[in-house]
Amino acid sequence: MTRLAEQAGGIAEGNVPNAPRAARRGTGNRPLWPLAPFAAAGVALLALPVLGLVVRAPWLRMPELLRSEGAVEALRLSLVCSVSATVVSVVLGVPLAWVLARGRGAWVGLLRGVVTLPLVLPPVVGGIALLLTFGRNGLLGRWLYEATGYALPFTTAGVVVAETFVAMPFLVVTVESAFRSADAGLEEAAATLGASRLTALRTVTVPLLLPSLGAGVVLTWARALGEFGATITFAGNLPGTTQTLPLQVYGLLESGDLDGAVGMSLVLVVVALGVLLLLRDRWLRPGGIGGGLA
């Protein structure tokens, strides 16, 4: 610690006699060795399991596994549901983020806590909560069922609701911080120049927001695609209707079809990697928000 402080002091004071040493040690070219084992363990923990999946993958059987009716059906359903959940999240989440960013008062903090709770809630708990609310005996679902005979559980719409519940907070959090950093003063300036509030929002704030919205959309979609706990609890598990890819992976594993489970897992890994690679430069680079503005 003392040597660290010394270095930091040396750099901060621009201590001339120490300058070459400070430059050499302080530019970050040399790793802080005591941290290295932890960083390496971190890398191993995050990267090795994916490697394990790749090594164990039934490569020769992959074409057959991917063409199977169950796989195609689960992939189609996963895409339909995760894209729908992302659209709903944008439609509801962006206005919500705006309210959270521009609102004043104690209720804003409370509201933020409430709407970001699913972010830290175990998804299976979310699934039970959804059942007790939107199920046909639920708080609201009861009225819907009595009026229309319709109930969300065991339907594809139920999957979309479960995925939106779990994924939308990612969008709200990302977009809210963008609304915050987009200067409210610019909106006011536009207003003083004669723009209506909606025009100011549309022509000034929204363009500033787009990169974060993009990042939020990707995160939300990825979270929705991987959703498992809330979906299986709230929407059940029926091939073609509610059995998305993660549910199918779980089912295959339970039935002892390890090849099938690993094969389908690999599909999800490839999709996830594809998203990261495609959007890396635009959204996920440090400072990517600024870069996206150009």
Partner 1 sequence: MRAKPSALLVGAAVLALAACGTGDAGGSSTASAGASASSSVSGSITVFAAASLKESFTAIGTAFEAEHPGTRVTFNFGASSALAQQITQGAPADVFASASPTTMQQVVDGKAANGSTAFARNVLEIAVPPNDPAKVAGLGDLGRAGVKVVLCQPQVPCGALAQTVLGKAGVTVKPASLEADVKSTLSKVQLGEADAALVYVTDVTSAGDTLKGIEIPADVNAATTYPIATLTGSKNPDLATAFVTYVLSEGRAELTKVGFQAP
Q: What are the residues binding partner 1 (CB under 8 A)? A: 1, 33-35, 37-38, 41, 131-132, 135-137, 151, 153-154, 232, 235-239, 242-243, 250-251, 253-256, 258
* Closer residue to partner 1, CB minimum distance, 238 or 293: 238
Please give the full DSSP string across the chain, using - where no structure is assigned.
-HHHHHHHHHHHHT-TTTHHHHHHHHTS-S--GGGHHHHHHHHHHHHHHHHHHHHH--GGGHHHHHHSHHHHHHHHHHHHHHHHHHHHHHHHHHHHHHHHHH--SHHHHHHHHHHHHHHHS-HHHHHHHHHHHHSTTSTTHHHHHHHHS--STTSHHHHHHHHHHHHHHHHHHHHHHHHHHS-HHHHHHHHHTT--HHHHIIIIIHHHHHHHHHHHHHHHHHHHHH--HHHHHHT---TTTT--HHHHHHHHHHTT-HHHHHHHHHHHHHHHHHHHHHHIIIIISTTHHHHHH-
* Closer residue to partner 1, CB minimum distance, 153 or 214: 153
CB of 100 to partner 1, least distance (A): 33
* Closer residue to partner 1, CB minimum distance, 130 or 222: 130
CB of 30 to partner 1, least distance (A): 14
CB of 82 to partner 1, least distance (A): 20
CB of 78 to partner 1, least distance (A): 17
* Closer residue to partner 1, CB minimum distance, 195 or 259: 259
* Closer residue to partner 1, CB minimum distance, 98 or 250: 250
CB of 146 to partner 1, least distance (A): 12
